[in-house]
Structures are given as structure tokens and as C-alpha cells.
Structure 1
Amino acid sequence: MDNRETLLHELQLIEEWEQDQKDLWFWEKLGRLPFMLLDKVTPKFLQEKAGQAVDELVSYVETGGKYMADEQAVFKRIAAVTHHPVASLDEVRALPITLMKQSALDLRKSRQNFATAQGAVAGLGGVFTLAIDIPFLLGMSLKTIQDVGMCYGYDPLEKSERVFIIKCLQFTSSDIVGKKAILEELSSMHLPERNRQMFSQLQGWREVLLMQTENFGWKKLFQLVPVAGILFGAYLNRKTIDEVAETALMLYGKRRIMERLER
């Protein structure tokens, strides 16, 4: 198990990351603009398909479910780091924080590569793959947060984790004021009484997910540029998943560290 010095060192790294979070970069600010242009160039049947995909994600977040989570795949990845088989989240919770972190870092790299390839393929198809790629990226973001959470021993089937997932998504697209508010809100989530209070925040999931879709859409309009769309798609998908994975890694890591320090 971790000694106090190791936990404090890892906590310091996370707090330095929190301090480094800056205002939105240029494309995120563009994402705040109306989403009318993409609506105009996207065929109606593709808009409907994208909307259905978002509805499925909203349903997952509101009611739970496990269709996006693959425990065994995550356990296999963790076992590759620990060199010992892992069969349950209870076993994951007993691991040193450094092994949890390494497992999450490996997962982050794998998802980056997958998102890069997917984005390049989507860039080939122009508008016909763009409307499908947006909900795909949203789903991949949720799955990445879930799986990083499992690397730290958290169960995505628990209602509190669905709250945490949406907070991670909100964090990646918030300005500096929003990020500070979310960090403050999550700073006490490891406390049972605070955890219960946050259940009430499950309302409004649809609005947040649709906002995320809108932000993705504006950035991904650059994929419509011939040839260059492949590069834009690969870069934007990779960057999006990297930011989501980094946020989940830091915030889940901080929760686990705080829980151990307060034992």
C-alpha cells in the first residue's frame, strides 16, 4: 500500500495541474456560437441519426447501464501493468496509487490512438461521416472517463459515478471560472455526505450532452475541407480524447488519494 509521502507527491502533481488550467482556447470559444451552419449542410436523416445516438447516451447517463463499459478489458489492461491477474474492482482498489495511475495512462494512450484513426476516417467522408462522428466522439469520451475511473477502482454502475462523469465532461469544455467552480465542487466528493448531495445534480444531463455535441460540431466543421479534413479529424479527435482522459485521470486520482489520506 502507498506511504503518505507517495500520496502527497501525487497530490501535489495533480494540484499543479489544476493551477495550470487556463481559459478556453480559440476553438472552444467558437463552439459557443450557434450550431446553425452544421445544421444547414447536414442531411436531415443524418441529423436524426446523430440525435438518436445522443438520446441513447442521455438514457445511459440517466438510468445507468453497462453497455459502454467493459470491465474485463480494463482488468486485462491493469493486469498488464501489475503483472498479476485482476478479477474485481475490489482488487483494483487495493492497488498502489502509482499502479492505478500507470494503468490509466496506458488506457489514455490507447484511446488517443484509436480516436486519431477514427477522426482520420471520418475526415475522408466529409459531411456524410461528420454527423455520425460527433456522437461517436461523445460516446468515446464517456467510455474513456468510465474506464479511467475503473483504473482507480470506481464502479461506473454507481449513481455517484454518473455525476462524476458529467462533471469531467463539463470541466473539459468550461472556461476558467467554470473549471474553478467544478474543482471546488468535486473537492469534497470523497466525503459520503457530499456524495449524497450531488445525486440531485443528475437533472440537466441532456442539456450538457447537447452542449458537448455542439462544441464538437463547430470544431469538426473543419473536417469538411477536402484532404485537410483527414488531418483536422485526426487531430481534433485525438486532442478531445486526450483532454477528457487527462481530466478523468487527474480528478479520479485526486479522489482516491484524498480517500487514502483521510483514513
Structure 2
Amino acid sequence: MTETREQLELELKQVKRWEKEQKDLWFWEKLGRLPFVLLDKLTPRVLQQKVGQAIDELGSYVQSGGQYLIAEKDVLRLLGARTIDEAALLPIAHMDKVAEGLKESRKSYAMVQGMTTGIGGIFTLAIDIPALIGLSLKVIQEIAISYGYDPSRQEERIFAVKCLQFASSDIVGKRAVLEQLEQFGKPEEHGQVAAQIQGWREVMVTYRDNFGWKKLFQMIPIAGMLFGAYINRSTLQDVAEAATMLYKKRRLQERLQALDA
């Protein structure tokens, strides 16, 4: 371990300060929480089917890894580690640097993706929603590896979906997720894994609904390019930031516990 107790505690205080800042949503975000019924009425059946397909694929990811499970070798190369276990021993500052680089890279990719799928308005939105979900899960897994956690393990896939849920939740939802994650990994929680897996559909529906009115603007052909670029970039920013803080908190807590032992 390369950090002192004081350094670890200082880093943990910064993470907890970030948690406290997740208090409320901007007014525009609150508008985005309005019922999605109107959008459902305006949405062609093909788009609704695409969203349903994305929900099913997320369920497959939680239960078996599905198509969203990534290979870790590229992230390990950035970390300069041979295995995830070796990555878990790296200095926190080095983990932060790699995670920040991945976040910036994925934000840029999401912006281009949103601009591209915004060209055709409502029709290309059917491509954008599943693609953004996939990119969100990809960056969460990459950040997990950056902090020495193996996203191929079922409990880590559940943690990844919790990060996704946190990023898209309101203040009440964020508090609930933080409370759940405080108990994550404890022996008494193992019996609740099945129940958490069954909750993946609710997470996905919430994630979809929270696009709200923002996605309505992306349905406007051509003008949707600008909205799509902004929306996707900000979505990836929120997801990557949540994953970074939540995985970093786990690693800091584990190192402090190791010092106590």
C-alpha cells in the first residue's frame, strides 16, 4: 500500500463531500422526470420495441454478462498491470488518472454518437437509446477495472447497474442507492442477490424515463444533432462520475480496513 492513512481518509472525505452534493436536480432535470406517456404515444412501435430490446439485454448482462461484458486487457494496459488483482494494488492517484482519461474519451465518443443519431430525428432515436445504454455500461466496467474490480463477476455486474441507477435517479433514488451500496459485499447481503437481479427491469425503465423531454427535442430532424450531442455527452459525464466516485469509495474503504486489520 502506497498511501498513508491520512491520505486515504482525505480522499474518502472528498468522495463523501461529492455524495452530499447530490442533493437535488436542476429545474430542467425535474422537467425530464415528467411522465413518459406522451412520448410513448408519439413513438412508433419500432422504437418502443427497440427500448424493450435494450431492457432485455440489460437483464441478460446482469444475469450472465450478455453482450455488454467487456474484455479487460485494454484497461489493464493503460494501468500498466497484468491482472485485475495487480491493478487493485496500484496507487489511488494512478487509478484516478486512468479513470479520468477513460471518462473523457467516452464522453467525446458519446457526443459524436448523439450527433450522428440526431440527424434523422425520431427514427434514429431507436438506435441511440440502446447504443447509449451500451456505452454507459462499457465506461462503468472500464472504471471498475481501473479501481481493481472484475466486472465479469455477477456481484460486480449488479454494482455496475447500481451505478447506472444512481446516475439517472432523483434525490430520493440516489439516497436509496447509496444506502444499498453501503451494505454491498457484506455476508448478510448475499441472500438478497436474487432479489437485486430481479430489479434490473425497474432500473432500466427508470433510466429510459429519465431521458424525458430532453429526448423529445432530439426527435427534431437535423436540430436533433445538437440536442443529441449535448444529451449524450452529459449523460456519459453523469454515469462516469458516479462510477468513479462509487468504485473509488469502495477501494478507499477497503484500504482503510486493511490498515485497521
TM-score by length of 1: 0.89
Is 1:134–1:217's contact at 8 Å kept on the other side of the alignment?
A: no
Q: Does 1:36 find its partner at 2:37?
A: yes
Q: Does 1:235 find its partner at 2:236?
A: no
Query: How far apart are 1:31 and its partner, in Å?
Result: 3.6
Give the one of 103, 108, 113 matched to 2:108.
113
Q: Does 1:193 find its partner at 2:187?
A: yes
For 2:4, the aligned partner's letter is N
Give the one of 82, 97, 106 matched to 1:102.
97
Deviates more, 1:112-121 or 1:63-72: 63-72
Query: How far apart are 1:175 and its partner, in Å?
Result: 2.1
Is 2:118–2:124's contact at 8 Å kept on the other side of the alignment?
A: yes
Across the aligned residues of Structure 1 and Structure 2, the Cα RMSD in angstroms comes to 2.0
Give the Cα–Cα distance (whole angstroms) in 2 for the partners of residues 3 and 194 of structure 1.
Answer: 31
Q: Does 1:244 find its partner at 2:239?
A: yes
Give the Cα–Cα distance (whole angstroms) in 1 for the partners of residues 59 and 28 of structure 2.
Answer: 25
Per-residue deviation, residues 184-221 of structure 1 (Å, max 9, x unmatched): 3222425x325525514222111211221222254211
Q: SS of the counterpart of 1:125?
A: coil
Give the Cα–Cα distance (whole angstroms) in 2 for the partners of residues 54 and 92 of structure 1.
Answer: 32
Aligned to 1:64: 65
Is 1:149–1:155's contact at 8 Å kept on the other side of the alignment?
A: yes
Query: How far apart are 1:62 and its partner, in Å?
Result: 2.2
Is 2:122–2:220's contact at 8 Å kept on the other side of the alignment?
A: no
Give the Cα–Cα distance (whole angstroms) in 1 for the partners of residues 15 and 184 of structure 2.
Answer: 16
Is 2:68–2:138's contact at 8 Å kept on the other side of the alignment?
A: no
Give the Cα–Cα distance (whole angstroms) in 1 for the partners of residues 50 and 181 of structure 2.
Answer: 34
Per-residue deviation, residues 12-69 of structure 1 (Å, max 9, x unmatched): 1111111111212334433433323333343323332332233122211123346431
Query: How far apart are 1:141 and its partner, in Å?
Result: 1.2
Runs (5+) with no aligned partner, structure 1: 80-85
Runs (5+) with no aligned partner, structure 2: none
Q: Relative to 1, partners in 2 of residues 1:201 and 1:57: Cα closer, same or farther, differing over 3 Å?
A: closer
Give the Cα–Cα distance (whole angstroms) in 2 for the partners of residues 99 and 244 of structure 1.
Answer: 20
Q: Does 1:7 find its partner at 2:8?
A: yes
Aligned to 1:75: 76
Deviates more, 1:155-164 or 1:239-248: 155-164
- The correspondence of residues 108-187 of structure 1 with structure 2, limited to 5 A, is 108-187=103-182
- The correspondence of residues 217-232 of structure 1 with structure 2, limited to 5 A, is 218-232=213-227
Q: Relative to 1, partners in 2 of residues 1:251 and 1:92: Cα closer, same or farther, differing over 3 Å?
A: same
Is 2:78–2:98's contact at 8 Å kept on the other side of the alignment?
A: yes
For 2:49, the aligned partner's letter is E
Q: Relative to 1, partners in 2 of residues 1:207 and 1:180: Cα closer, same or farther, differing over 3 Å?
A: closer
Is 1:173–1:212's contact at 8 Å kept on the other side of the alignment?
A: yes
Identity of aligned residues (%): 55
Q: SS of the counterpart of 2:152?
A: coil
Query: How far apart are 1:149 and its partner, in Å?
Result: 0.7
Aligned to 1:82: none
Q: Relative to 1, partners in 2 of residues 1:70 and 1:47: Cα closer, same or farther, differing over 3 Å?
A: same
Q: Relative to 1, partners in 2 of residues 1:155 and 1:66: Cα closer, same or farther, differing over 3 Å?
A: farther
Give the Cα–Cα distance (whole angstroms) in 2 for the partners of residues 151 and 246 of structure 1.
Answer: 13
